[in-house]
Amino acid sequence: MDALGKSVRRGSTRRRFVIAGGGAMGVALLGACAGAGPGSTDAAGATKSRAPVKLSTNIQSPASTQWGAYEAADAAIREKYPWLTMEYLGGSSASFEGMTKMVVDAAAGSLPDMVYAQGTQIQYYIGNKIVVSMTPYLNKDKAFDLNDFPKVAVDMYSRGGQVYGIPYDHGAQMLWYNADLFKKNGVTPPTAKWTWDDVVDAGKRLTNEGQGQWGLVNGGPTATWSMASYIGPWGGMWVDDTETKTGITSAGSIAAVQYWMDLFFKHKINPIPGSFTGNLYVEGRAAMTIGGPWSYRDWIGKINFESPIADWPLGPGGKRVSASMGSGYPITTTSKHRDETWLYESELLGKDMDRSVMGQFVKTGFGTPVRFSMMKEFEKSKFAMPNVQIVAPAEKYSAIGRPISPIKPELDKVWTEERAKLLKQEVSVKDMLETVRRRIQPFLDQNKGWDAAT
């Protein structure tokens, strides 16, 4: 998911940073596998008598907008385990090129101990055998409590009954709105009963193209991971759970894509992608936008209006479904300190308010915690978005942001090419979707068995 990957990638470099205890930061050139500490991860190991173990990760760097939360969590972990050091390399990437480089680095034995996986990337890493199953650790470490995470998030990082990564951030696409614009224009704000027809009705009353004000700003279906959000409420389907079949030419899919195109060309409440610059929503020039719970962290200090979050609207038949996406952290097969890496990650994504980065999200507002227990605390914080209490329950109507199999880049490419013609109004929605179906079918045919246990 781009919104998730953005803050991780921003300013990421190959510079190597090591966090020292107490939050002080020093620069050093440390090997990813330096140190030979033993594999025990019990509490007795957290003593100064332990041989130093130095780990590395690419998940964040000091240039990240979320760095303050990670720095604080790392300092607290070091206080408990003074022998354990994590080197934050930065340099993670959500691009396909970045994924393939990970495979090359794995073959060279130069991967960090813990790496970043943005949603669908994890399945590529599992298939290429560069990440290990974390289920053995989870079975032993009952206190970690995987049930405290949304099932849809855990399923994203699983295959063959094994969990290969722990999500730190996950959520469904939801509707955001500028409460000030709604009030100014006398429009009733979104409710849990809103339908997509209500979005159109409100959008018409909130759009004033002459003044550069729009009812909604969103690019519509763009493949990637979010297709279930755009076509699911109409009963449409991009790919099935096996990712070997598509329903993109079904009546529901056609109706859904036509709806989104009508927002541009018929109702004219949504500016056509590429026709504007800047962030219209943040600038207060769009009444509604679409994004995950993570969107809010990038808006703090930038928006001068109240921005509540609302449930994903209902489809024509009363169906509510939205794609869910996030990012997580797996352990690599090349790590020489897997036990110690799990120890560090179990704290970083654990329940302690100081050692957990999610606990630091509650304290700093630099992120939205995925743990249900942490979300309860976040709901009380001064950094929580208005109407935050609906975020955790939204996981009940969320779906995995498919495709998550290795054919995803190919499907994205096909959709992007054909969508460009649709935005130029060179083809009809029905014809465009038929062309997409024809072009992606060979990839789907070759995809059988992709999710077999490794």
Question: What does the pLDDT look like over 191-241, one tens digit per residue?
Answer: 999 999 999 999 999 999 999 999 999 999 999 899 999 999 999 999 999
Residue 47 pLDDT level (bands cut at 50, 70, 90): low
- Percent of the chain's residues with pLDDT above 70: 89
Triad 41, 43, 46: Cα angle to 5°: 85
Residues 338 and 374 in one domain: yes
Separation in Å, CA 149 to CA 50, 279, 373, 374: 32, 32, 9, 10
Q: Name the residue with higher pLDDT: 354 or 11.
A: 354
What value does the mean pLDDT take over residues 332-343? 97
| Distance separating alpha carbons of residues 112 and 168, to the nearest angstrom | 18
State the pLDDT confidence band at 298, using cuts at 50, 70 and 90: confident
H/E segment holding residue 171: strand 166-172
Q: Are 385 and 372 within one domain?
A: yes
Residue 348 pLDDT class (50, 70, 90 cuts): very high
The verdict on residue 146 lying in a domain is: yes
Report yes or no on 188 lying in a domain: yes
Would residue 357 count as lying in a domain? yes
- Tell me, yes or no, whether 202 and 147 share the same domain: no
Whether 156 and 232 map to the same domain: the answer is no
Note the pLDDT of residue 418: 98
26 shares a domain with 163: yes
Give a yes or no: residue 285 inside a domain. yes
Model confidence pLDDT, tens digit, residues 235-279: 999 999 999 999 999 999 999 999 999 999 999 999 999 999 999
Same domain, 230 and 260: yes
Is 422 contained in some domain? yes
Judge if 227 and 186 occupy the same domain.
Answer: yes
**pLDDT grade for 48, boundaries at 50, 70 and 90:** low
Residue 332 CA to residue 90 CA, distance in Å, equals: 16
255 and 308 inside one domain? yes
Clarify whether residues 21 and 164 are in a common domain.
yes
How far apart are alpha carbons 210 and 206 in whole angstroms?
12
* Average pLDDT of every residue of the chain: 89
pLDDT tens readout for residues 399-431: 999 999 989 999 999 999 999 999 999 999 999
Mean pLDDT along residues 57-65: 92
Distance CA 262, CA 256 (A): 10
Residues 191 and 120 occupy one common structural domain: no
How many Å apart are CA 356 and CA 331, to the nearest integer?
Answer: 17
Please report, for residues 165, 201, 284, 313, the alpha-carbon distance to residue 267 in angstroms, rounded to integers and kept in the order given. Answer: 43, 9, 20, 18
Residue 413 neighbours by CB under 8 Å, 6+ apart = none
**Are 320 and 330 in the same domain?**
no
Is there a single domain that holds both residue 136 and residue 252? no
In a domain, 142, yes or no: yes
First vs last Cα of the chain: how many Å apart?
25
Instruction: Read off the tokens for 45.
Output: 């190991």
Q: How many independent structural domains does the chain possess?
A: 2
**Entry pTM:** 0.85
Distance CA 388, CA 375 (A): 9
Residue 310's domain spans which residues?
174-324+397-445
Q: Residue 364 and residue 359: Cα distance in Å, rounded?
A: 9
Question: For residue 287, how many other CB atoms are within 10 A of its CB?
Answer: 29
